[in-house]
């Protein structure tokens, strides 16, 4: 007789991880929304410095990193949760807040991990469709909030569609949310967003709404995806306490803590990366639009492209892969007929545009725009 598993294991959707790690070095890795830049040398040195001490458990209070984030954002350390990636905090929030009878509200498609929270807990997921421009429809979301709502997730900018909603609209939404429901503003890509302004702007919202949590990560703009460090700035202490209760101690290793602390000291590098990424994104968006495809108004380090109506997404993906370009299919992210493409190095972006330009004429329904192609 096979071993038995909890019923929820059958309900939990598998996370759509990127494939192609086996293809070797000559591949444009545009599938996972990381930055193409490696860490600054000082971050590598900080990691080296802590390695001789790895016989000891890490500081379970993460005080150096917590203090560094507290200094940067003006939020008391007790209201800062740290996680093994921001996903860790998200899953812990689901565990701490959801149960059968409770409801969780989020837009769809949004970050692929959101459906996990309801499936793991038995709570009712309420998925609210994005609007016609693939943005969050906050009015429609507000209408879904009930006494049973425990958690609301707003992915801003939204993964996979790259779109952001303005903070005054988020504030108007928060006015409509009862104080018993926690709202997580998932800001994994906020540093790239011109709509959201600077990274302090949403922190101001925490003053007015104790039920608000800002979820952020070192995986994107700080370039530390492999070290898995995320954090949450919380409107009140209780969120941080609850997510710490449900997790194992020592969830953040010493190398990750040291790297994150050092990375925070190099805001000049962060700004350079944002500037370079935005310039490359604008060029990429234009090149894809010049091919005659619709591209969402991106506020992130990736773009969201609609394929011609009758395109076979699987074969588009395969043709790109055959040309050494890895991107993410919309179908794996909740919306058929689209591609999510991370902004990479200029050479990688160019390779994607060239490959797409080559394969599109064979795609049913594709109309080549009049004029010169890139
Ligand atoms: C919207 C969003 N939130 C959270 C995460 C999780 O990031 P991490 O766990 O690497 O911090 C991601 C990762 O891609 C994301 O796209």
**What tokens appear for 193 in the block?**
């967003």
Is the CB of 158 within 6 Å of ligand 1? no
Confidence of residue 22 (pLDDT cuts 50, 70, 90): low
Is the CB of 233 within 6 Å of ligand 1? no
| Dist CA 161 CA 295 (whole Å) | 9
Query: What's the mean pLDDT in 115-132?
Result: 97
| Dist CA 325 CA 289 (whole Å) | 19
Residue 273 pLDDT greater than 90, yes or no = yes
**What tokens appear for 205 in the block?**
């919202």
Ligand 1 pocket test, candidate residues 93, 159, 224, most atoms within 8 A of CB: 159
The verdict on whether omega for the bond into residue 183 sits within 30 degrees of 0, i.e. cis, is no
Ligand 1 atom with least separation from CA of 218: 11
Is the CB of 170 within 6 Å of ligand 1? no
Is the CB of 230 within 6 Å of ligand 1? yes
Ligand 1 pocket test, candidate residues 85, 107, 304, most atoms within 8 A of CB: 85
| Dist CA 136 CA 138 (whole Å) | 6
Residue 105 pLDDT greater than 60, yes or no = yes
Do residues 65 and 228 touch, judged by C-beta distance below 8 A? no
Phi and psi torsions of 80, nearest 5°:
-120, 120
Is the CB of 85 within 6 Å of ligand 1? yes
Is the CB of 84 within 6 Å of ligand 1? no
Strands (E), 117-236: 124-129, 149-155, 182-186, 212-217, 230-234
Confidence of residue 372 (pLDDT cuts 50, 70, 90): low
Query: What's the mean pLDDT in 34-42?
Result: 93
Residue 371 pLDDT greater than 70, yes or no = no
Determine which residue's CA is closest to atom 12 belonging to ligand 1: 188
Residue 23 pLDDT greater than 80, yes or no = no
Determine which residue's CA is closest to atom 7 belonging to ligand 1: 86
pLDDT in tens, 346-364: 999 999 999 999 999 988 8
| Dist CA 190 CA 192 (whole Å) | 5
Is the CB of 186 within 6 Å of ligand 1? yes
Is the CB of 115 within 6 Å of ligand 1? no
- Residue 107: per-residue pLDDT: 98
- Residue 20: per-residue pLDDT: 67
Phi and psi torsions of 231, nearest 5°:
-145, 160
Ligand 1 atom with least separation from CA of 111: 1
Ligand 1 atom with least separation from CA of 87: 9
Angle between helices 313-322 and 346-359 (to 10 degrees): 130
**What tokens appear for 142 in the block?**
């507000």
pLDDT in tens, 153-171: 999 999 999 999 999 999 9
pLDDT in tens, 44-57: 999 999 999 999 99
Q: What is the number of other CB atoms lying within 10 angstroms of the CB of residue 17?
A: 10
pLDDT in tens, 222-256: 999 999 999 999 999 999 999 999 999 999 999 99
Ligand 1 atom with least separation from CA of 217: 11
Is the CB of 344 within 6 Å of ligand 1? no
Q: How far is the CA of 311 from the centre of ligand 1 (A)?
A: 29
Question: How many residues are given for the chain?
Answer: 374
pLDDT in tens, 173-225: 999 999 999 999 999 999 999 998 888 899 999 999 999 999 999 999 999 99
Query: What's the mean pLDDT in 21-39?
Result: 86
Mean of all residue pLDDT scores within the chain? 94
Is the CB of 159 within 6 Å of ligand 1? yes
Share of residues in the chain with pLDDT > 90 (%): 86
CA distances from 310 to 43, 306, 365, 370 (A): 47, 11, 6, 20
Q: What is the number of other CB atoms lying within 10 angstroms of the CB of residue 180?
A: 10
């Amino acid at each position: 007789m096979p071993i038995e598993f909890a019923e929820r294991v059958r309900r939990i959707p598998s996370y759509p991880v990127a494939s192609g790690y086996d293809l070797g070095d000559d591949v444009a890795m545009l599938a996972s929304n990381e930055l193409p830049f490696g860490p600054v040398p000082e971050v590598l040195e900080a990691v080296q410095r802590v390695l001789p001490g790895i016989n000891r458990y890490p500081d379970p209070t993460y005080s150096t990193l917590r203090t560094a984030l507290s200094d940067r954002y003006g939020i008391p350390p007790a209201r800062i949760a740290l996680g093994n990636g921001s996903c860790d905090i998200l899953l812990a929030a689901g565990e701490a807040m959801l149960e059968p009878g409770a409801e969780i509200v989020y837009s769809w498609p949004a970050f692929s991990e959101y459906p996990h929270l309801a499936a793991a807990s038995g709570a009712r997921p309420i998925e609210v469709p994005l609007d016609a421009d693939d943005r969050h429809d906050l009015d429609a979301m507000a209408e879904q909030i009930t006494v049973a709502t425990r958690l609301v997730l707003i992915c801003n900018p939204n993964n996979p569609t790259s779109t952001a909603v303005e903070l005054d609209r988020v504030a108007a939404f928060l006015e409509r949310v009862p104080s018993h429901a926690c709202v997580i503003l998932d800001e994994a890509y906020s540093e790239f967003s011109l709509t959201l302004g600077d990274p302090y702007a949403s922190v101001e919202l925490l003053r007015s709404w104790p039920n608000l949590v800002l979820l952020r990560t070192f995986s994107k703009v700080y370039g530390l995806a492999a070290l898995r460090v995320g954090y949450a700035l919380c409107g009140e202490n209780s969120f941080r306490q609850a997510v710490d209760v449900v997790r194992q101690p020592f969830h953040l290793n010493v190398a990750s803590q040291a790297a994150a602390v050092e990375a925070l000291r190099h805001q000049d590098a962060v700004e350079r990366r944002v500037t370079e990424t935005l310039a490359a994104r604008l060029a990429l968006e234009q090149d894809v639009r010049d091919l005659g495809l619709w591209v969402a108004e991106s506020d992130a380090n990736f773009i969201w492209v609609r394929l011609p109506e009758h395109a076979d997404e699987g074969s588009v993906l395969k043709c790109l892969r055959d040309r050494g370009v890895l991107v993410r299919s919309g179908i794996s992210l909740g919306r058929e007929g689209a591609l999510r493409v991370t902004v990479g190095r200029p050479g990688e972006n160019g390779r994607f545009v060239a490959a797409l330009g080559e394969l599109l004429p064979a795609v049913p329904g594709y109309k080549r725009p009049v004029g010169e192609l890139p």
